[in-house]
Structure 1
Amino acid sequence: MKARYLGLSALLICALAGCSQPVPSGTAPAQATAAATGSPVSITDFANRTVQLQQTPQRIVALSNGEVDIVYALGGSVVGRPTSSHGAPVKKAEQAQMIGSTHELDLEKVALLQPDVVLGNYPMNEKDIPAVESIGAQMVLSSANSVADIQRQITLLGGMLAKEERAQQLNDQLTQHIAALAERSQTANTKPKALLVYGAPGTYMAALPNSLSGNILELAGGSNIAADLPGLQSFPQYAQLSTERVVEADPDYVFIMTHGNSEEVKAGFLKEMQDNPAWSSVKAVQNNHVEVLPSDLFGTNPGTRVTEALDQMHQLLYPSDTYE
């Protein structure tokens, strides 16, 4: 069968850039040390940059929702948050000024907030460091391509806010949550096979295990049918989607992630499948196991709410499994 590839557009690349970026191997672990408010803070971020702050930052701008969630989970707050039509990830952050995103920072709005620190994406926001420093703020860079990366973010921001003990508690809870899911998944004879599709209307590609959603799938007890596909050069966490490869792997589930209109994306993807009769032989299609995942939990960093993403993925993969 001749492979049929589904297109990749600039729109989706832009969306992906705002969610996560690759962290080169060998990057030093994020570290942070801080004393009480008013004492100097020394931070080593995901770009292996040492950032010196005169005191524990009080005015924080975050360019992605994951960092907003983590800051509040640690007991802090933000004065600036990502622009979104879906509201803030934390109710207490609703009043924070919307200041653009990782791929389109509104420096004028940020400057008016007089932040101590701006939390950005590595490596996407490296180019913005001089502009942020020009308004008297520091930039701290991180990213989340795995649950382990989220734990590194928690450690980093916990040190920055002098909340190391709380950060350790959050990470311990997450580690225990993952261990409990692994134990539950071990009772299954075989792991359910799944395809993770990242999409915008008319554009679709497969998420690989080295993406955050791919890592969530594996930790929740699933098997990623795209695991052996080559990653895209610009975004190695994602691969071009081959219909032939999907039909051959015959996934039990197809999960769709999107930043746009979820129903429109699902309808478009279903049309793609209807236009190619080969999809009718796929178990996920035959059993109506094609699901759109919540955009606030998948395809972008959910912060500490990654536990919700893990639970939801596990329940989709193992619908007969019940929680006490």
Structure 2
Amino acid sequence: MKIQSFLLGLCGLMLVGCQATGADTEEKSHVVTDFAEREVSFNNEPERIAVLGNGELDIVYALGKNVIGRPSSQDVPVVQEAVEAEQVGSYHEVDTERLTLAQPDVVFANDPMNQKDLSAIEGTGAEVVLTKANAIEDIKDQISLIGEVVQEEASANHLIDEVELVEAEMKNEPLHKETKALLIYGAPGSNLVALPNSLSGDILEAAGGLNIAADFDQLQDYPQYAALSPERIIQADPDIVFFMAHGDPSAIEESFVQEMAQHAGWSQLPAVKEGNMDVLPADLFGTNPGSRITEAISYMRERLEEVHSE
């Protein structure tokens, strides 16, 4: 009887131990919901991080982490510390071979552009978290999500507070005079007009400017942009024209000016006469600036204020 009691007690202890181990494993499982409403699980905090966009790159470093994989680019990345990281492609073209070599635990990619690449990226052994940035609110949500994934929620909340502080300052101190602006985005020979529902359009609104393209028809394939309409632009008479691009924005300005010079009335616009045509910094406006969105808003406000003070 004593032996039987001992064995029963031992089995009971083993059972409790197994249950405790299972509970510990369950507690370690960390689940996040990304921008595509996908639930992504992590058993441990991801240490090897790869990103396909400069915005996510900036946010990861702003949260005190680093990456082993960064966007492929001929240009120096926004975050200098990431120069030596493996170049693993972009939203447009994922380099799965280099991702496999880098062996990331997690890859931050774009929704919806990288939906088609999910299987290929996951095939490298990494979890995929999809995000996007078509508005300032999206960037704040990106910061929150990435902070949740890398378990730096407090730092993420601090960054979000800084963004909201700048937004509040802009609202509490509106421009003294209405300033109409035109946002041109693209490449030589293919210029588009940024609409209010684009990230740059949202930055313009946050800075207190008025987008003259608010009622332009959006493009089917690029709903944040509209086709260039010289007649409507001349009629709207913007106070300032902003140029932005992934590459050299000055080339965009030259292409746009050449195109517009062919239309009567362009040279008579005050924005043209007074030289209110501004090439926006590519690291703040040619791509998602990440946590540096505060700098982008402040830069835009400064230029809008200069229009009527010159």
TM-score by length of 2: 0.88
Q: What is the alpha-carbon distance in structure 2 between the residues aligned to residue 59 and residue 81 of structure 1?
A: 11
Distance 1:314 1:105, change over 3 A: same
Aligned partner of 1:59 in structure 2 is 48
| Cα-Cα RMSD | 1.6
1:154-192 Cα deviation digits (max 9, x unpaired): 000111111111111110111011111222225x1x320
Match runs of 1:238-253 below 5 Å: 238-253=225-240
The reply on whether 1:285 has 2:272 as its aligned counterpart is yes
Q: What is the alpha-carbon distance in structure 2 between the residues aligned to residue 40 and residue 321 of structure 1?
A: 56
Match runs of 1:140-151 below 5 Å: 140-151=129-140
Aligned partner of 1:163 in structure 2 is 152
- Stretches of structure 1 that go unaligned for 5 or more consecutive residues are 1-37
The reply on whether 1:298 has 2:290 as its aligned counterpart is no
Aligned partner of 2:126 in structure 1 is 137
The reply on whether 1:201 has 2:188 as its aligned counterpart is yes
SS of the residue 1:194 aligns to: strand
The runs of at least 4 consecutive aligned structure 1 residues that moved more than 3 Å come to: none
1:192-219 Cα deviation digits (max 9, x unpaired): 0000001201111110011000000000
Q: Which stretch of the first structure deviates more once superposed, 312-321 or 129-138? A: 312-321
Q: Which stretch of the first structure deviates more once superposed, 109-118 or 293-302? A: 293-302
Q: Which stretch of the first structure deviates more once superposed, 86-95 or 118-127? A: 86-95
The reply on whether 1:80 has 2:69 as its aligned counterpart is yes
The reply on whether 1:107 has 2:135 as its aligned counterpart is no
1:199-241 Cα deviation digits (max 9, x unpaired): 2011111100110000000000100000011211111110111
How far apart are residue 320 of structure 1 and its match? 7.6
SS of the residue 1:297 aligns to: helix
Q: Which stretch of the first structure deviates more once superposed, 311-320 or 70-79? A: 311-320
- Larger RCO: Structure 1 or Structure 2 (Cα < 8 Å, ≥ 6 residues apart)? 1
SS of the residue 1:52 aligns to: strand
Aligned partner of 1:153 in structure 2 is 142
Structure having the higher Rg: 2
How far apart are residue 278 of structure 1 and its match? 2.5
Counterpart amino acid of residue 99 in structure 1: V
Q: What is the alpha-carbon distance in structure 1 between the residues aligned to residue 308 and residue 154 of structure 2?
A: 34
SS of the residue 1:124 aligns to: coil
How far apart are residue 281 of structure 1 and its match? 2.6
Higher helix share: 2
Q: What is the alpha-carbon distance in structure 2 between the residues aligned to residue 175 and residue 132 of structure 1?
A: 34
Question: How many residues matched?
Answer: 283
Question: Do the aligned residues in 2 keep the contact of 1:40 with 1:56 (CA within 8 Å)?
Answer: no
Counterpart amino acid of residue 111 in structure 1: T
Q: What is the alpha-carbon distance in structure 2 between the residues aligned to residue 145 and residue 107 of structure 1?
A: 26
Counterpart amino acid of residue 237 in structure 1: Q
- Stretches of structure 2 that go unaligned for 5 or more consecutive residues are 1-26
TM-score by length of 1: 0.84
SS of the residue 2:291 aligns to: helix
Question: Identity of paired residues, percent?
Answer: 48
How far apart are residue 317 of structure 1 and its match? 0.4
Question: Do the aligned residues in 2 keep the contact of 1:56 with 1:162 (CA within 8 Å)?
Answer: yes
**Partner residue of 2:204 out of 214, 217, 226:** 217
Q: What is the alpha-carbon distance in structure 2 between the residues aligned to residue 172 and residue 78 of structure 1?
A: 24
SS of the residue 1:185 aligns to: coil
